[in-house]
Amino acid sequence: MSSAEIPSPKAVAQKIEAALPSPQEVKKDAASGLASQLRSFAAGGFGGVCAVIVGHPFDLVKVRLQTAERGVYSGAIDVVRKSIARDGMRRGLYAGVSAPLVGVTPMFAVSFWGYELGKQIVSKVSTVGPDGLTTAQISAAGFFSAIPMTAITAPFERVKVILQVQGQKQLAPGEKPKYSGGLDVVRQLYREGGVRSVFRGTVATLARDGPGSACYFAAYEIIKRKLSPKDENGKPTGQLSVSAIMAAGAGAGVAMWIPIFPIDTIKSRLQTAEGNVTLGGVVRELYGKGGVKAFFPGFGPALARAVPANAATFLGVELAHKAMTQVFG
């Protein structure tokens, strides 16, 4: 190679400088990414409230079936019947709802914020094709969303399931429930075992929500793409209808619960057990009492809840995004 063909250091520096984004472009990209994360945070919170309102009665039935001794209930309908007979419609089906209502806004907000951040991270560290993120990339972003969410989910779910299980115990005349509400649960747990007691089940929660969130967001995006109207070249031509959004959300909920339900059963048992218990001890106890079937009580109510609750979640999220777009552009 002749000396004339070798670029000068100045020319190399100019080429590198031309290839790099300008400070203004970096600031613009950062602002755009932050705005997208904030919108996902707000939309996720609204979607979570919709999910609790619709899905809490189903969740209560699931937890009571998971934690009750054999023979207490004959099935999901029996849980509903006995709960309403004992406490009435509102208290019977919405026992423990205060904890998820208080916690669900930050929990779902952090989940959807984490998913948005996960997508941005995946886009930076891997190649994104012309059709957008692949299923594997979406799954990775979904798994990432569960990591920050677990810090909120674990203690709130511990409080929720304790209150739900307390509601199924028969009290003697004049006897008061052990816990008067969510804050009282936290106070007593902290007094008995400190922060570690409040956060019992965190590992099981992450073991459930990591793969669950990966399936959840991947299924939603896949179904959403299948249902999107397309032109003759197969390119999306418009926004999804309300029914299509709800169908995709319902499918995402079912796809999440099917693979992780045994882990959820273990988590519920672990978080409601009294005294010092271990994850392995809970697994051995469950298997010893009923084999593999012992890990699936309440599976039907969980899937029944997944359809309307997650349809409501994603409808709320999409409507929130649409509203923010109209207001903020």
The average confidence (pLDDT) of the chain is: 86
Candidate ranges 62-76, 205-219, 262-276; pick with highest mean pLDDT: 205-219
Any idea of the CA torsion for 232, 236, 242, 243, to the nearest 10 degrees? 50
Q: Are 185 and 111 in contact (CB under 8 A)?
A: no
Output the pLDDT for position 5. Answer: 58
pTM: 0.77
SS3 132: strand
Query: Per-residue pLDDT tens for 120-138?
Result: 999 999 999 888 899 999 9
Identify the band that residue 59 occupies on the pLDDT scale cut at 50, 70 and 90.
confident
Residue at 178: amino acid letter: K
Q: How far apart are CA 145 and CA 252, in angstroms?
A: 15
**Does pLDDT of 26 surpass 50?**
no
Query: Per-residue pLDDT tens for 165-220?
Result: 887 777 778 888 889 888 999 999 999 999 999 999 999 999 999 999 999 999 99
Output the pLDDT for position 181. Answer: 86
| Helices 182-198 & 135-166 angle (0-180, nearest 10) | 120
Output the pLDDT for position 118. Answer: 95
**Does pLDDT of 55 surpass 60?**
yes
pLDDT over 70, % of the chain: 89
More confident residue, 189 or 164: 189
Output the pLDDT for position 13. Answer: 54
| Helices 299-328 & 23-67 angle (0-180, nearest 10) | 150
Output the pLDDT for position 148. Answer: 93
Residues linked to residue 129 through DSSP beta bridges, in sequence order: 132
Complete domains list, the chain, with CATH: 26-328 (1.50.40.10)
Q: How far apart are CA 20 and CA 23, in angstroms?
A: 9
**Does pLDDT of 224 surpass 60?**
yes
The mean per-residue pLDDT over the stretch 50-54 comes to: 89
Output the pLDDT for position 184. Answer: 94
More confident residue, 162 or 170: 162
Q: Among residues 132, 122, 68, 114, which one has the least CA distance to residue 272?
A: 68
Tell me which of 38-42, 101-105, 258-262, 282-286 is least confident.
101-105
Q: Are 216 and 273 in contact (CB under 8 A)?
A: no
